[in-house]
Amino acid sequence: MNTNIFLLSFVATPLLGFLLTLFIPERHETGLARTAFYTVGLQLLLGLVFVAYWLYMGSPMINVEEMALYQTEGYAFVIDFFFDNITAVFLLTGAFITLLITRYSGYYLHIERGYKRFFNTILVFFLGYNVTILAGNFETLFIGWEMLGVSSFLLIAFYRERYLPVRNAVKVFSVYRIGDVGVLLAMWASHHLWHENVSFLKLNNYEQVHEHLMGHTGMGVFIAICLLTAAAAKSAQLPFSSWLPRAMEGPTPSSAIFYGSLSVHFGVFLMMRTFPFWEEQISVRILIGGMGLATALVAFFIARVQANIKTQIAYASIVQIGIMFTEVALGWENLALFHFAGNAFLRTYQLLVSPSVVSYLIRDQFYHFQGPHKVAEHWLPLRWQYSLYLLSLKEWYLDALLNRLVFRPFKRIGHRLDFLTPQNVLLIFVPVYLLGWFFYFQAELIPAGVIRFLPEVFTFIGLLMVFKSFSERHYPLLSWLLIVMNHFWVALAVSFNEHFTYDHTLLYLSGVVVAAVIGYVILRRIRREAPTWYSLNGYYGLAHDYPGLSLVFLLAALGLMGFPITYTFIGEDLIFSHIHHNQYLLAFFNALGYILGGISLIRIYARVFLGPHAKTTHGTPLRSS
C-alpha cells in the first residue's frame, strides 16, 4: 500500500468536494448536501482502511515530504505530512462527526438563504482540519490553522444580515489572530534553534531535541510559551474563554462541529503534537497544567449559572478541555486522546438536540417543577456564595479584561494618530519611505551604529500604521492603504537587517500588490455608488447589493493578510527567516503587525459588506435578534 497516496488523498478528497460544490447551483439543495455527504463519507472510508493497515503494520510514525513550494540556499518551504496515533484519532473522529453534521445540515438548513455558502464553508473547514492534523511541520500546520480561522469567521457570520452574528464573528476572529502571534513567533524561533524548518518527526527524537536545548534553554521556554498562547486562544482557555459562547451565533450544525467537538480541541492537539519538545521543561509543564486546572475551575462555576443552553454547553466543554490540558502536561497522551473523542461526541449530540431540549424543558417545568437542591457551594459562607454567583453570572469579566488589556491599548495608540488623513499619509510617510530606500542603496552614508537600529524603527513605523488602521472609523480606503503600506515598511526594514536577493522581496510583495489593487478598486467603486454608507462607523450589509464584489473583496483581504492563496504566505515566512535569532523585538513587531492587520482587514469587510442592510427599503432583523 502506498502511504504517500493515502495521506495525500486525505487532503485531496475535501478539496475536490469543495471544488465540485462551486459548480452546483444554489437551488439544487439535494446536490449540494449529497456532494458534501459523499465527500466526507469517502474520507471516512479511506481513513478506516488506512488506519486498519497502519495498525497491522505496527503503528509506525510516517513522515512524507510531498513538495517544496519554494527553496533557496538556507531556506525551504516544504509541504510535509506526518501520521501517528494522534493523527489517527483526530482523523477518524473528525471524519465521523463531520459526516453526521453534513447529513443533519441537509435537512436543518432547508430553504435557508446561504445554503450553498454553508456547505462550501464546511468543506473548507474540513480541508483545513485535515491539513492541520496531517501537518508534518509548522509551515504546513499554519496553512490549516489559517483555514480554520477564516472558515470559523464565515460560519459564525452565516446569518450575515443580523448584527450580533457579524459582530461576534469579528470578535472570535480577533482572538484567533492573537493566538496566531504565538504560532508565527514559534515558527521563527524554531527555525533559528534548528537552523531549518524542523519537522515534527525530528521533535520525537529525544536525543536530538535534548542536544539543541542544552545551550538554548531560554529559546526553548520562549517557543513553548508561544505555542501555549496559540493553544489557549484556539481552545478558549484562560484568559481567552469568553469567545466560545459568542461563537454560538452561527447555525446549530456549525456550532456543533466547530465549538463543541472539533475546532475547539485544536489547542489540545497543538500541545500533544509538540509535547516531545517541551516535556523536559518542568516549568512549562506546570504552567500548562495550572492553566488547564484554573480554566476548568472557573468555567465550571460559569456553566452552572448560565440561562442559555448553548452557553452552558460551551462552558462545560471548556471545563473538559482544561482537564485535557492538564492530562497532556502530566504526559497522559492516550487518556487525553480518549477524553477528546468522548467530549467531541458528547458535545456534538448535546448541541444538535439543544433546540428540542429547550422546548421540552419549557413544557416540562409546568408539570414537574422542583425547588432548588443542595449544591456543593452551600458549604461556603453566604457572602462568598453571592460573590461567586455574581462573578460567574458576569463570566468573571473575561470579555472586559481581554478588551482592556489587549484591544483597547491598540485602539488608544491608533486614536493618537488621527491626524493621519489620506493626504497626510501621502505627504509624510511616502517621502520618508522613499528616503529609507535611498539610504538602503547608499548605506555608506549612515553610521554602522545607526543602521543596526533601523530594522526595528522601520518595522515600528509600519506597526503604527496598523494601529491607525485598527482604530480607523471613517475612511475604509485609508484603513486599507495603511495595511498595504505596513507590508512595504516590513520589506524595507528586513532589507536593512540582512542583505538578500530581490527575489525574496518580490515574492513577498507580489501577492500584496495584486490584492491591494483589487481591494482599492472595489472600495473606490463602493465610495462612488454608495457614498452615504461609505464608512466604518457601523455595519452596512452591502453584500445584499454587491454579492460578487463582496466575495472578491473577501479574497483580496485574505490575500493581503497572507492567507495561503497567494505567494505572500510563503513570503511572510521567508521574511521571518531573515530576522536574526536575537531580534525578539523585531520579530514581535513584525508578527503583531501581521495579526492586527488581518483583524483590521476582516473588520473592513464585515462593516462594509455584512450586517443589517443600510437601506430601509430592505427588511432587516432587530439588532438583538
- 461 and 352 in a single domain? The answer is no
pLDDT, residue 326, reads: 95
Distance between CA atoms of 349 and 54, rounded to whole angstroms?
30
Task: Identify whether 370 is part of a domain.
Answer: no
pLDDT, residue 625, reads: 46
Task: Identify whether 162 is part of a domain.
Answer: yes
Dihedral angle of Cα 47, 53, 56, 57, to the nearest 10 degrees: -110
Task: Identify whether 332 is part of a domain.
Answer: yes
Task: Identify whether 492 is part of a domain.
Answer: yes
- 438 and 304 in a single domain? The answer is no
In sequence order, what DSSP letters do the residues of 70-117 get, joined into one string? EEETTEEEEEEEEESHHHHHHHHHHHHHHHHHHHHHHHHTTT-TTHHH
Q: Which domain holds residue 536?
A: 416-609
Q: Count of domains in the chain? A: 2
| Sequence-separated (6 or more) residues with CB below 8 Å from residue 68 | 76, 77, 78, 79
Task: Identify whether 570 is part of a domain.
Answer: yes
User: Which of 328, 346, 361 is the endpoint of a domain?
Assistant: 361
Distinct helix (H) and strand (E) counts, the chain: 28, 2
Q: Judge if the upstream peptide bond of residue 239 is cis by omega within 30 degrees of 0.
A: yes
Distance between CA atoms of 29 and 107, rounded to whole angstroms?
10
Q: Which residue has the cell 443600510?
A: 614
- 347 and 473 in a single domain? The answer is no
- 298 and 429 in a single domain? The answer is no
Measured CA distances, 446 to 111, 450, 453, 497, 578 (Å): 67, 7, 11, 14, 21
pLDDT, residue 430, reads: 81
In sequence order, what DSSP letters do the residues of 190-256 get, joined into one string? HHHHHTS--BHHHHT-HHHHHHHHHT-HHHHHHHHHHHHHHHHHHTT-TTSTTHHHHGGGS-HHHII
Read off the amino acid at residue 258.
F
pLDDT, residue 424, reads: 78
- Pick out the chain residues at pLDDT < 50: 625
User: Which of 337, 361, 385 is the endpoint of a domain?
Assistant: 361
- 432 and 500 in a single domain? The answer is yes
Task: Identify whether 408 is part of a domain.
Answer: no
Task: Identify whether 406 is part of a domain.
Answer: no
Task: Identify whether 397 is part of a domain.
Answer: no
- 344 and 466 in a single domain? The answer is no
Q: pTM of the full predicted structure?
A: 0.91
- 559 and 435 in a single domain? The answer is yes
- 451 and 536 in a single domain? The answer is yes
Give yes or no for a contact between 318 and 244, defined as CB atoms under 8 angstroms apart: yes
- 251 and 336 in a single domain? The answer is yes
Instruction: Give Cα 407 distance to the centre of its chain.
Output: 17
pLDDT, residue 368, reads: 61
- Side-chain half-sphere of 105: how many Cα atoms within 13 Å? 33
